[in-house]
């Protein structure tokens, strides 16, 4: 009876909390009754970014007086800052005005997370120069692989009507150090470069500028012929070169701090230099030459594969770009996905990292969860991002991590950069799932400082977004930190990859067959299940993809006894009875992983229900509903994958594990319209 009364009290208490729709993200700064004492010390203290910094602190700082100081001698900080102070006074110094803004947000983060601010001596230099969000937003306001509603950009209202969310978006990015954005899809519509749309882009750039967020655009390589009236878009055609130079000049007249272009070319049907017998360097360099007088850059995506299926899909980007190493201009950066296939739940790192010794490279993550349950599954991605950043390529000896290659530590680059495919839409909570906000936050924090731990990032985000109550903080943090591994377990453990349903990539469909489809768009190409075993042989007896990795990784990955078990089926076709390190067979281990993932999600449901009274009822119910969906989906994944592969393994699911709840033939009939899945 006492437990019932206590539970009822907690339920009523949660109802008494102010309802939240999630629109404030992690920016729930304390409101002050009296304005804070904030002064600006510089010759020119009337700068938009400085004004924002001063206003944020004036409105929300509850501590000692603060001085914001511009010191051009601190240019080694780039757009970073120094914070020094004691109980009496704090000074924030920076070489650039936007550095003062980042410093202001640092102070507010310390305040909101309960840090000790009595004796501060902080120096922050960002890990990467360009910390950029890639929006896959179309001009009709749909979002490719976006799961939080339609695009933020109201093109029909621009440039004359500005939604207040544009400023809120810029503010959120600035608060975590994101300083750039590509607002349109890599499958770019050429119309984005017309005068009509450039005026709209300018209006957005003007809103973003005070928050230090520079505008970039994805461009369609065929734009000169599609909207420019030229006969072709051949990068060797002087008329095409002239068209791009004139277009770039027009852009910079409208947007003086324009950053440059992002290009997807000769991939998945997009036009590119190959259409004219040219190579990627020819295409990228033409655009780079047009941008160079304005200090603009070209981010040229390495996500390419030939339309005629042939070699191992995981090897194609390496085979196309490594022969061109050294041929790209110094304002071209090759944008490389973290893995060699396509943002799978877990992949080994792309072998392109480290292989391009004379060409700048940058890392591309996917924040939106195209392959990780969309906005329905709670999956905290900081551990995934960290695994990629910390991966040792051995390209320059031991310790040649992807982070150190791309940040300029090991390879000098004119500009360093890192990108994340945005998970932002017009939903009130921005990301479709309250916990998906943490992935936007995590990307920004790691782009600023990749040495931060996943635990520290989760801790900050929970305190700022929900509460610092230990009975909420610790179990929810543990849930977040284990959630990526949990998702890998119930989706594709042990190196299985790309066994999703056709087109939408939400649910399992390892049996999928579409007549006429390219083999490498279908699951069988990747799992290769037969009565002997399953997995993709990428060793010297197979595609020899392992040869693209530096020693000793090529030997480690190529040996079935030394390859990390998390990548076992990525690199090897393994017999069902192969003995794993725990002494169990590969088949039994496969069953254990799927069962464990399912059980872990059930535990998350229990955790969330136990801590629900610390959260307002609106957000509590939303997350509770999402976890219910995730739990059902984990069962769906386990049953579909194990029952399907069991038709090949012909082995029983270990008897001490929970039995499948569905029949395989019934699961094969599911044709999900993900837009209506809830």
Q: Give catalytic residue positions.
A: 268, 342, 370
326 near 358, Cβ under 8 Å?
A: yes
Task: Name the pairing type of β-strands 81-86 and 90-94.
Answer: antiparallel
Number of C-beta neighbours around residue 181 at 10 A: 25
Spatial distance between the Cα atoms of 321 and 19, rounded to a whole number of angstroms: 52
Neighbour-count burial of 94, counting CB atoms closer than 10 A to its CB (0-12 exposed, 13-18 middle, 19+ buried): buried
Task: Name the pairing type of β-strands 417-421 and 360-366.
Answer: parallel
Spatial distance between the Cα atoms of 491 and 484, rounded to a whole number of angstroms: 11
Rounded (10°) angle between helices 586-611 and 470-491 = 150
126 near 177, Cβ under 8 Å?
A: yes
Distances in whole angstroms, Cα of residue 564 to Cα of each of 373, 395, 577, 593: 25, 19, 18, 15
Minimal CA–CA distance to 125: which of 85, 94, 81? 81
Minimal CA–CA distance to 632: which of 589, 652, 662? 662
Rounded (10°) angle between helices 454-465 and 470-491 = 120
Spatial distance between the Cα atoms of 1 and 97, rounded to a whole number of angstroms: 61
- Which residues are CB-neighbours of 62 under 8 A, at least 6 positions away? 30, 32, 36, 111
Task: Name the pairing type of β-strands 38-41 and 332-337.
Answer: unpaired
Give kind and range of the element (H or E) at residue 362. Answer: strand 360-366
Give kind and range of the element (H or E) at residue 371. Answer: none
Spatial distance between the Cα atoms of 362 and 108, rounded to a whole number of angstroms: 30
243 near 230, Cβ under 8 Å?
A: yes
Q: Which letter, b or e, does each residue of 97-113 get, where b requires 16 or more Cβ atoms within 10 Å of its Cβ?
A: bbbbbbbbbbbbbbbbe
Start-to-end C-alpha separation, the chain: 35
Minimal CA–CA distance to 59: which of 8, 3, 116, 107? 107
In terms of C-beta distances under 8 Å and separation of at least 24 residues, what long-range contacts does 321-325 make, across chains too?
A: 321/280, 321/352, 321/356, 321/359, 322/352, 322/355, 322/356, 324/279, 324/280, 324/281, 324/359, 325/355, 325/356, 325/357, 325/358, 325/359
445 near 124, Cβ under 8 Å?
A: no
Minimal CA–CA distance to 420: which of 398, 442, 403? 442
Spatial distance between the Cα atoms of 104 and 110, rounded to a whole number of angstroms: 10
205 near 215, Cβ under 8 Å?
A: yes
Minimal CA–CA distance to 28: which of 455, 464, 377? 464
Instruction: State the Rg of the chain over Cα.
Output: 26
């Amino acid at each position: 009876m006492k437990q019932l009364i206590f539970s009822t009290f907690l339920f009523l208490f949660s109802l008494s909390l102010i309802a939240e729709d999630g629109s404030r993200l992690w920016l729930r700064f304390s409101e002050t009754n009296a304005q804070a004492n904030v002064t600006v010390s510089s010759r020119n203290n009337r700068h938009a970014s400085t004004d924002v910094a001063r206003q944020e602190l004036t409105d929300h700082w509850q501590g000692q007086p603060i001085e914001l100081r511009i010191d051009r001698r601190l240019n080694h900080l780039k757009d970073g800052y120094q914070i020094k102070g004691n109980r009496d006074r704090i000074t924030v110094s920076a070489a650039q005005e936007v550095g003062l803004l980042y410093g202001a947000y640092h102070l507010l983060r310390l305040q909101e997370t309960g840090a000790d601010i009595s004796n501060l001596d902080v120096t922050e230099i960002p890990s990467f120069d360009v910390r950029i969000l890639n929006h896959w937003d179309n001009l009709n306001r749909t979002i490719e692989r976006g799961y939080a509603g339609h695009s933020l950009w109201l093109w029909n209202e621009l440039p004359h009507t500005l939604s207040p969310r544009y400023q809120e978006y810029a503010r959120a990015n600035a608060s975590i150090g994101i300083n750039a954005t590509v607002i349109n899809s890599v499958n770019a519509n050429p119309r984005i470069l017309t005068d009509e749309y450039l005026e709209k882009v300018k209006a957005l750039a003007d809103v973003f500028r005070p928050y230090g967020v520079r505008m970039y655009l994805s461009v369609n390589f065929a734009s000169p012929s599609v909207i420019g009236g030229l006969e072709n878009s051949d990068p060797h055609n002087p008329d095409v070169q002239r068209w791009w130079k004139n277009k770039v000049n027009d852009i910079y007249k409208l947007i003086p701090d324009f950053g440059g272009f992002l290009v997807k070319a000769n991939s998945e049907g997009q036009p590119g230099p190959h259409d004219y017998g040219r190579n990627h360097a020819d295409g990228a360099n033409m655009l780079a030459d047009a941008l160079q007088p304005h200090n603009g850059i070209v981010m040229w995506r390495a996500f390419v594969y030939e339309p005629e299926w042939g070699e191992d899909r995981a090897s194609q980007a390496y085979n196309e770009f490594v022969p061109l190493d050294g041929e790209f201009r110094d304002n071209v950066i090759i944008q490389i996905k973290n893995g060699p296939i396509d943002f799978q739940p877990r992949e080994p790192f792309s072998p392109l990292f480290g292989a391009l010794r004379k060409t700048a490279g940058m890392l591309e993550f996917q924040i939106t969860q195209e392959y990780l349950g969309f906005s329905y599954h709670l999956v905290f991605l900081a551990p995934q991002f960290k695994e990629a950043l910390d991966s040792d390529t051995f390209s320059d000896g031991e310790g040649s991590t992807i982070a150190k290659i791309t940040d300029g530590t090991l390879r000098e680059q004119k500009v360093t950069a890192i990108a994340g495919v945005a998970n932002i839409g017009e939903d009130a909570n921005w990301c479709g799932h309250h916990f998906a906000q943490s992935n936007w936050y995590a990307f920004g924090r790691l782009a600023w400082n990749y040495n931060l731990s996943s635990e520290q990032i989760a801790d900050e985000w929970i305190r700022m977004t929900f509460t610092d109550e230990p009975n909420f903080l610790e179990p929810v943090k543990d849930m977040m930190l284990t959630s990526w591994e949990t998702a890998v377990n119930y989706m594709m453990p042990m190196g299985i990859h790309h066994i999703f349903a056709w087109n939408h990539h939400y649910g399992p469909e390892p049996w999928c067959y579409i007549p006429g489809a390219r083999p490498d768009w279908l699951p069988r190409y990747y799992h290769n299940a037969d009565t002997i075993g399953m997995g993709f042989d990428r060793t010297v007896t197979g595609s020899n993809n392992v040869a693209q990795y530096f020693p000793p990784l090529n030997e480690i990955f190529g040996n079935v006894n030394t390859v990390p078990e998390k990548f076992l089926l990525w690199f090897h076709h393994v017999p069902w009875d192969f003995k794993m390190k725990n002494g169990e067979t590969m088949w039994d281990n496969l069953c254990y992983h799927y069962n464990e993932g399912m059980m872990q999600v059930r535990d998350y449901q229990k955790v969330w229900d136990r801590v629900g009274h610390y959260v307002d009822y609106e957000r509590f119910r939303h997350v509770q509903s999402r976890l219910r969906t995730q739990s059902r989906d984990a069962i769906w994944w386990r049953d579909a994958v194990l029952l399907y592969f069991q038709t090949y393994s012909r082995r029983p699911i270990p008897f001490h594990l929970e039995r499948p709840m569905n029949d395989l033939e019934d699961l094969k009939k599911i044709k999900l319209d993900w837009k209506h899945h809830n």
